[in-house]
Structure 1
Amino acid sequence: MTTQPASTPGIVTVTLNPAIDLTMRLKELIPGTVHRASDAAWAAGGKGINVAGCLSDWRQSHEPQIIATGLLGADNAPTFESFFAAKAIIDRFVRIPGHTRTNIKLLDDTTGDITDINPAGLTPEQTELDQFRAMLAADVVPGSIVVLSGSLPPGLAPSTYREILTGLNRQGARAILDAGGRAFRDAMASPPESMPWAVKPNQQELEAWAGGRFADLGDMVRAAHRLCRQGIGLVVVSRGAEGALFVSERHVLLGRPPILNVASTVGAGDALVAGLVAALSEKAEPERVARLALSFAAAKLAQHGPNLPDRAAVLAQFGKMTIERLPPPA
């Protein structure tokens, strides 16, 4: 793996706690009984890896390549290496001893519900973290878009993302954070120099940060706007089948998709982030940002696995989105 510095702004995704996703289809999930899966599929996973995969499917040959980095267990790295090779994603992952965790997804064909069982993951050594930071710094130039996604592995402090964001901001990168729990709350309590350029919490994550359930959409808008006043340029709140809210200091857009035929909800939020990155990388206007992000998510819902359909299929969703402009909070 080369660590030569990047020469032009590109797109980098960071996954510190990747996983192999094992999806098993069951006729019906009944706790406490023995089940026989009707189908089982293995795929390279982790939120940043899913984002990189969608962006690679969207990318045209003249556009900058997609770089994926983070920490990867050496013992089952070939699963990821095959994925990166197939998608033409530049692999900058630091290998660490052990097996990358396997997340188990149980799909109940009767209800359509998915039950997730996610192990904690590998604990990296400080030298491995230092190697990752050096790798990331070498791939970032002013104007690079860097996506920080997913949970932190065991042993890493909640402040880890905040520390990475500080370095990225010093390099002139535009960072997007998609993480929950203490890592998200810690990042949102950072000084301006450590704030990400954009964040994508879901409604529950934003409520946890705000300290309570939202009574209505107005509460959600006001909470997102508070983050904008703390120095974040764009807050995207994913709302599942109801679409997403896109909030900046000057714009509030409520995006709703049409009723869709859903093949799999796995990775739809990551596809939303990928669409957001694709739109922001072309310096799109706010409405196009919202439409393209939602189009990525809608197109992903029709696909199984960490894949996006072709560019025409994504753009076919573009005009189907309903985008409503709402007044910013006073």
Structure 2
Amino acid sequence: MSKIITVTPNPALDLTMHAKGWQRGVVNRGQSMDVTPGGKGLTVAINLAMVGVPCTVTGWMGQNNDGHFCREFNKNGLEDQFVRVPGDVRRNIKIVDESNGETTDINMPGHSVSEAARTLLIELIDAMVDEETILVYGGSLPPDLEKSYYADMVKRYHDRTRAVVVDTSDEALDELMKADILPQVIKPNIHELENLVGRTLESDADIIAEARRFIDKGVELAVVSLGSRGAWFVRKDEALHAQPPKVKVASTVGAGDAMVAGIVRGIMFGRTLEEIARTSTSYSVANIKKVGISLPSIAEIEEIKAKVVITHQA
């Protein structure tokens, strides 16, 4: 069986404030606040742990305030291989308005990473990976790290692992997709894909065509998320659309990470593309029904899966 290692270069403590009907420029009153460990790789690993898939988590973490993370690792049985660096883990603020389902994010840049810490992380990953490893990179990069970091790591581990999965955005995504060697799995949202290709994608055919351009360059699975309109799952010879059931949205925070967890689990167990699409979509739907990193029971996930509508490319 494959082992899963997730790498989060720029973790964060997410301070999620719940404030119904909040407005800019005035004093608002909140109802509650949650403090949860954040970062794409971490969230993917926590979601996988919730469905019984063990993971190793690594990256760089500020040593001054790692207590929330350590408790989460222990609760979920995650193997902690984070490299500690001086200073604090960054804090991100998320304002959730449950009256309309909107979430506003204010993300801080993160900590500096020394050359020694960079070398140590590479040495750790080198020692852990093998040909059965699924290596997941996710999230933003610390401010002093090269934007080509993910591209460099894909080049290093592409042929030494079963698959490298990358979920990132902005300049890091641009650099990743310009590289000569691409990850086996990517999950851009529609806006990120449009930015990559430099045009508006007005039809499903456009989305599939642009996803296949990256597949022609080496990507094995491209998943393009469309928010409430579901997602396209595209391989070289197969493409299908997964439409989620309508649910009441509590928070969209972590929905994409839950989808990545479902994709990784499907790859790990060799599932069909349709099964990967149903599972990852159901994880995402289950996540947005609740606040925080949370998946329900297997029975509830199966109930959601049954309501996902799959349409194969004509």
TM-score higher than 0.5 here? yes
Q: 244, 248, 256: which one pairs with 2:231?
A: 244
Separation (CA, whole Å) in 2 of partners of 1:78 and 1:310: 27
SS at match of 1:76: coil
Separation (CA, whole Å) in 2 of partners of 1:235 and 1:95: 33
- Is the aligned partner of 1:172 residue 2:165? no
AA partner of residue 60 (structure 2)? L
AA partner of residue 50 (structure 2)? D
> Residue in 2 aligned with 1:292?
279
> Residue in 2 aligned with 1:222?
209
- Is the aligned partner of 1:58 residue 2:51? yes
Contact 2:6 2:45 in 1 (8 A): yes
Q: Which runs of 5+ in 1 are unaligned?
A: 1-7
Separation (CA, whole Å) in 1 of partners of 2:225 and 2:128: 29
Q: Which runs of 5+ in 2 are unaligned?
A: none
Q: 307, 310, 319: which one pairs with 2:294?
A: 307
4+ long deviations beyond 4 Å: none
> Residue in 1 aligned with 2:135?
146
Output one character per residue of 1:195-226: Cα deviation in whole Å (capped at 9) or x when no partner.
10110000000000010111222111111010
SS at match of 1:44: strand
Output one character per residue of 1:17-71: Cα deviation in whole Å (capped at 9) or x when no partner.
1110101111322211122221111001111111001000001xxx6x2111111
Measure how far apart 1:13 and its partner are.
0.8
Which 10-residue stretch deviates more, 162-171 or 264-273?
162-171
Contact 1:176 1:198 in 2 (8 A): yes
Which 10-residue stretch deviates more, 259-268 or 99-108?
259-268
Contact 1:140 1:173 in 2 (8 A): no
TM-score by length of 1: 0.92
- Is the aligned partner of 1:99 residue 2:77? no
Measure how far apart 1:296 and its partner are.
1.0
AA partner of residue 92 (structure 2)? N
> Residue in 2 aligned with 1:4?
none
Which 10-residue stretch deviates more, 288-297 or 267-276?
288-297
AA partner of residue 173 (structure 2)? F
Root-mean-square deviation (CA, aligned residues, Å) is 1.2
Aligned residues: 314
Measure how far apart 1:257 and its partner are.
0.8
Aligned identity (percent) is 35
Output one character per residue of 1:290-328: Cα deviation in whole Å (capped at 9) or x when no partner.
11111111111222211211222212212111111104x
Separation (CA, whole Å) in 2 of partners of 1:218 and 1:184: 23
Contact 2:135 2:161 in 1 (8 A): no
Measure how far apart 1:130 and its partner are.
0.8
Output one character per residue of 1:127-165: Cα deviation in whole Å (capped at 9) or x when no partner.
101111111122211021111111111111111001111
